[in-house]
Amino acid sequence: MSLVPTLRTLLPAAFGVLSGFAAVAQGADLLAVYQDAHRYDAQFASAQAAQAAGREALAQGRAGLLPTIVLSANRMNNDLDFTIRNGVRSGKRYDSDGWTVSLTQPLFRWDRWAGYNQGEARVAASEAQFELARQDLILRVSQAYFDALQADESLSAAEASKKAISEQLEEAKRAFEVGTKTVVEVHDAQARFDLASAQEIVARNDLNVKRQQLRQLTGKDYESLKNLKSGVALPWPQPDNMDKWAESAEQGYFGVQTAQAQLAVADEEISRQRAGHLPALDLVASRGRAGQDFNAVAGGAGTDTNTTVVGLQLTVPLFAGGAVSSAVDQAVALKNKAQSDLDNVRRTAALQARQAYLGVASGLAQVKALEAALVSSQSALDSNKLGFEVGVRTNIEVLNAQSQYYTTRQNLVKARLDTLSALLKLKAAAGSLGDGDIAAVNGLLD
C-alpha cells in the first residue's frame, strides 16, 4: 500500500458554490501553484511596487549633486501715481516684462553627498526587502500547498476509517444476532462509527478551508494537487552542520541585509546633519532681460536691459538656535538603534536557522520511524482481522488496530510535509531559498 496515497478529486459541489467566480484549474503541482501565486498574490505585488519606489532613492540623491536650472518670466501692468511738492499731481501707466534663466551648481555641499550615499543604501535596503518578500512568497505557497495535501490525507483517512468501521459494525450486528458476539461490541462499534462520521465532517471542512487559503494566494481552485511520490527519500540539508547554517544566516539572511542597509542610512544621516555646521559653496550663473515702456531716469523713454551674472556664492552658517546640534544627537541615537536592530536580526536569523535545521533532522528521523510503524500497523491490522475471522480476536481489537493504522498513516504524511517545510525555512534563513528549491521539491511529487 502506498505510504502517501494519490489525491482524489477534491472539491464537492458545496465547495464549488463557495468558490464563486474563481477560475477552476486542472490538477496542478507545486511549481504551477507557485507561478500562479507569483502573478496573483497581492502581498507580493505590493513588495514589487515597494521595490520600484525604493530604486528611485538613488536618482533623488544624485539630483542633489547636479545643477539646478530655473526659468522665470513676467509681464506686468504698472500704474504710477505721484505728486510733485508744488501740489501738481501726475501719473503714468506703462507695461513691463522680463525673463531670467538661472543656474546653480553645488560645489561643496556635504549634506548633498551624504544624501546621495543614503540613496544608495536605501536602494540596497529595498532590494533586500524585495528578496525577503520573494522568499516569503515561496514559504507561504509551499505551506499552503502542504496544508492542502495534509488536509486531503486527513479526509482520505477519515473516509477509509469510517468505511472500515461500518463494515465492522455490520459484522458485529450479524454476530450478535446469531449469538456469537455480545451487545457491548455492537455498541462500541456504533460509537466508533458515529465518532468517525463526525471526524469526516471536520476533515472535509478543514480541507475546504485549506483550499480557500490556497485560492487566496493564487486566485484559482484546483481540481487536484499532486502528492509526494510513494516512499520518496527526503534530502538532508547540505552542509550537514547546524553551526555553518547559523553562520550563513547571520550574513546571508535578507532581513540581516536590510538591517545593514538601514544602519548605513542612519550613519549617513549623522554626516548629513553635521553638514549644518559646514559652509556651502555654489557656482551661480544667470542671464536675463527686463523691458519697460517708461523709465523716468531715461527721460520717460522705454528701456531694455540685458543682464549676465557668473560667480561663486558662499554660505556660512553661524547660529541656528541649537537645532543642528540637536539633530546630530538625534541621528546618533537613531544609529545606535539601527545597530541594535541589526544585532537582534542577526541573532534571530541564527536561531531560526538552528531551529529549522533541528526540524529537518528530527523530521527525517521521525519519517523513518513512522515508515516502520506503518508497516507494523498494517501487519497488526491484518493479523487482527484474521484473528477476528477465526474467533481469537474481538471486534474491538480490530477497530483499535484500524484506528492505529490510519493515525500512523496521517502522522507519516504530516512528518514528511513538515520536514520539507523545515528544509525550505532553513534555506530561507540562510538567504539561499530560490525558485530552484521549489523545482527540487516539485520533483518529489507524483
pLDDT at position 186? 85
In a domain? residue 335:
yes
Query: Rounded to an integer, what distance in angstroms lies between the CA atom of residue 422 and that of residue 433?
Result: 12
pLDDT at position 14? 31
pLDDT at position 79? 84
Total count of domains within the chain: 1
Query: Rounded to an integer, what distance in angstroms lies between the CA atom of residue 393 and that of residue 356?
Result: 45
User: Which domain CATH number covers 117?
Assistant: 1.20.1600.10
In a domain? residue 397:
yes
In a domain? residue 140:
yes
Query: Rounded to an integer, what distance in angstroms lies between the CA atom of residue 288 and that of residue 298?
Result: 20
Strand pairing class (220-222; 23-25): parallel
CA dihedral 11, 16, 17, 23 (to 10 degrees): 150
In a domain? residue 312:
no
In a domain? residue 50:
yes
Q: Which phi and psi angles does 253 have, rounded to 5°?
A: -60, 130
Query: Rounded to an integer, what distance in angstroms lies between the CA atom of residue 172 and that of residue 245?
Result: 57
In a domain? residue 135:
yes
pLDDT at position 179? 77
Dump pLDDT digits (tens) for 292-310.
887 666 566 778 889 999 9
In a domain? residue 297:
no
Residues of the chain scoring pLDDT < 50: 1-25
Q: 30-40 and 110-177 are packed helices; what angle lies between their axes, rounded to 10 degrees?
A: 130
Q: Which three cell numbers stand for residue 29?
A: 503541482
Q: Which three cell numbers stand for residue 202?
A: 471536520
Burial class (CB in 10 A: 0-12, 13-18, 19+), 173: middle
Residue span of the structural domain in which 269 resides: 13-64+109-278+317-442
In a domain? residue 271:
yes
CB 379 within 8 A of CB 320: no
